[in-house]
Amino acid sequence: MKNLLFNLSFIFTFSLFSQEIKQDTTRVQNLEEVIVSSIRVKQNAPIAFTNVSKDELGKKNLGQDLPILLNSLTSVVTTSDAGAGVGYTGIRIRGINAQSTNITINGIPYNDAESLGTYWVDLPDFASSVENLQVQRGVGTSTNGSSAFGASINILTDLISKNSYFENSNSVGSYNTIKNTFKFSTGILNDYFEFSGRLSKIDSDGYIDRSSSDLKSYFLQLNYKKENTLIKALSFGGHEITYQAWNGIDGETLQSDRTYNPSGMYLDQFGNIQFYDNEVDNYKQDHYQIHWSQIINSRLTSNLSFNITNGLGYYEQYKENDNQDYVTRKWLDNQFIVGNYSLNYQDNKVNMNFGSSYSQYNGDHFGKVIWAQNTPGIQIDDLFYDGNGIKKDFSNYIKTTYQLNSKLFLFGDIQFRNINYSTTGSTSEIANFLINKKYNFFNPKGGLNYLFNNHNRLYFSFARSNREPTRSDYESNPNIKSEQLNDFEIGWNLTKKNVNLTTNFYMMQYKDQLVLTGSIDDVGSPVRENSGESYRVGLELETVFNLSDNVSVQANSAFSDNKNKNFVTSIDGELVNLGKTNISFSPEIVSSVNLSYTPKENMVLSILNKYVGEQYMSNTDSVFSKLDAYSVIDFNFNYNFKNTFFFSEIVLSGVVSNLFGAEYVSNGYYYTYDDTWSDPNSITTIEGTGYYPQATRNYMLGLKFKL
């Protein structure tokens, strides 16, 4: 039945595309936007979204990861393992972690196919090559790759530059953080070609002890554009070496020494505490993309994309086991191949997209011993585990926006997704890790957008999303289930000369949601489990208000109720139904206020206040697992000098983060274990926590020169 529906839809779409176009409607179409047009939404879509421009990112971009630069957006909570936004960072939207957020770069999936996570540390300073991005909250519209379960972030990289330029950006700041970036473009050559690129280097000691980062990245792009044809060839990637900081600290250490890092600790032959110098994560990732965008006629455009991503690296650890000492490296050697195709038909009333995507992931996981002492049974370069994972993902979607009349727009979207995932070999914990799973998901979406007048619009949408478990989910539980979400959204938008106000109400109903247990595995990745039935209900308020020509306020608040309906867990050796409990890492209040003052055309001063309410690190409502609410204020400034000396532009910028030095924790973990030693006749559940402290007052200062 599903295949029949898809075939009928395809035949209808193809026949529509094939009709003779009798009226030649002139349509301005930016060919580079065609690359992402099939998975982005416009103002008349019934979806909660935010667009972020290159200029907005540039004002804050002094070396921190992209998630940190998005910290002020609605329902967003960010965190940093090293404490200051350089190195491993994380983002949650509506309380849902990055594994459930779909990320695409030029329409190509960026989420790791096996873990579904996004590791921005692998692409340092990537924000310097972003033209714009769109954040869709909720399920949103159909996209390529894994389904969005809380949000999607769609990124478009640098556009063609008509004029040649050369830029040098340098930043320095707290914790010996230094960023150097070089960008260039040849401008249009011979009327058709443009070549551009970027090289970046970021170093930081980190706020947490020894949480150093040694980051390198590049971005190269060759463009060919002639009339209705655009071909873009891109190569970008990065190499990161970060000292591990994912172990966190306990509550007692948080109070006495909040920057302490236990990673790499061992005892020498005299019983003294030492720290292993090379307790690092070392990973290199390279992306190769080619995009062909074509305006076929005034109504029809197409895009064909192909991607290869190669990744290779390891994390190294010093291990102690009684009198035995050894050092291991756990390797990942993987390749990710993607092909996308999309067609867009647009006339005065219809905007229709057909898209198809196929991807294949092949990842080798293996571990080696590289040094050992007092270990007669261990040989150097021994493989102590060796496994492989292969994942194939094929999806098709059709989405249509139809203007019924001057006020009413209808939106429909259906997606079919087929997934095959299999593993062989072993893991560091499992001798025979054999998984063979197949999934067929049908994800329908629909809604309407009603324009009351030129200033007011009302929208409603329903979307269903299904998602598969990750590799680490299967390691924890081979019988873990896929999760399903039904997302209802209703919103109102007011747009006037000096004010833009959006109110969005959502109700997200889950079946077998994969919630964070609070625990982490041996590489700091979160452990998840099915929670049966659960829901998230929330109200999001966003406003942009221009108080005068040089003073503006951007503010947003999110109020939510996030609950497991009947949560069952083991306490003191018995399964207990706790009934309705809070979903982990889901604060009820998240808000942001940004006040900007422009005393003159080339100068901007802004103050940002971010508030995150209290949250639980477990699903059991254990007071022991509660993270306190926090409020942080940042100050940012930009001063632009035009046509100074030999330069067309000099930009001086800076940020003081956590202006008042708040000592806060944005992330952590919670675990339990059964104690049978105290009383062999009974089982007592013992609780434990870990915390990731964030930096107190810190600063970055930047200077950019452009020729």
534 in a structural domain: no
Q: What is the CA radius of gyration of the chain?
A: 26
Domain for residue 195, yes or no?
yes
Helix (H, G, I), strand (E, B) or coil at 315: strand
Overall average pLDDT of the 355-360 stretch: 97
Residue 442 has pLDDT above 50, yes or no: yes
The SS3 assignment for 21 reads coil
Answer yes or no: is 559 within a domain: no
Lowest model confidence (mean pLDDT) among 131-140, 302-311, 371-380? 371-380
Say which residue, 680 or 132, is predicted with more confidence: 132
pLDDT at residue 6 in the model: 39
- Other Cβ atoms less than 10 A from the Cβ of 168: the count is 15
Among residues of the chain, what percentage have pLDDT more than 70? 95
CA geometry: angle 488, 458, 146, nearest 5 deg:
35
Specify if 573 maps to a domain: no
What are 668's strand-pairing partners? 691
pLDDT digits (tens, 9 = 90+) for 52-63: 999 999 999 999
From residue 236, alpha-carbon distances to 100, 213, 282, 309, 389 in Å are 24, 19, 18, 10, 25
Supply the pLDDT for residue 524. 67
pLDDT of residue 5: 38
Looking at the 3D structure of the chain, how many domains does it have? 1
Q: How confident is the model at residue 676 (pLDDT cuts 50, 70, 90)?
A: low
Dihedral, CA of residue 659, residue 661, residue 666 and residue 670, to nearest 10: 180
Measured distance between the N- and C-terminal CA atoms of the chain, rounded to whole angstroms = 60
Alpha-carbon distance values, 1 to 117, 284, 407, 536, 617 (Å): 33, 44, 35, 32, 43
At 696 the pLDDT is 98
Q: Is the pLDDT of residue 25 over 50?
A: no
The CATH number of residue 656's host domain is 2.40.170.20
pLDDT at 704: 96
**Residue 463 to residues 148, 429, 510, 579: CA-CA distances in angstroms?**
10, 38, 12, 27
Q: Which residues, listed in sequence order, are joined to residue 31 by a DSSP beta bridge?
A: none
Work out whether strand 589-600 and strand 108-109 pair parallel, antiparallel, or are unpaired.
unpaired
Please tell me which residue, 477 or 322, carries the higher pLDDT value.
Answer: 477
Q: Which pLDDT band holds residue 238 (cuts at 50, 70, 90)?
A: very high
pLDDT, tens digit, 9 for 90 and up, residues 31-82: 888 999 999 998 889 999 999 999 999 999 999 999 999 999 999 999 999 9
| Lowest-confidence region among 8-22, 35-49, 104-118, 486-500 | 8-22
The torsion region of residue 599 among left (phi > 0), alpha (psi -120 to 50) and beta comes to alpha
For 477-500, the pLDDT digits (tens) are: 999 999 999 999 999 999 998 999
| Mean pLDDT value across residues 10-25 | 37
Q: For residue 286, is it within any domain?
A: yes
Q: What is the Cα–Cα distance from 28 to 173, expressed in whole angstroms?
A: 44
Output the CA–CA distances (angstroms, integers) from residue 111 to 68, 107, 364, in the order listed. Answer: 18, 12, 17
**pLDDT confidence of residue 519:** 79
pTM: 0.93
* Predicted confidence (pLDDT) per residue in 646-665, tens digit: 899 999 999 999 999 999 99
Domain with 127 in it: 27-504+603-706
Residue 580 covered by a domain: no
pLDDT band at 163 (very low <50, low <70, confident <90, very high): very high
For the cut 80, the answer to whether the pLDDT of residue 604 exceeds it is: yes
Mean pLDDT of the chain: 92
Q: Would residue 189 count as lying in a domain?
A: yes
Query: Is the pLDDT reported for residue 278 higher than 90?
Result: yes
Give helix then strand counts, H and E, for the chain. Answer: 6, 40
Distance CA 41, CA 136 (A): 9
Question: Is 149 a member of any domain?
Answer: yes
What are the beta bridge partners of residue 698? 657
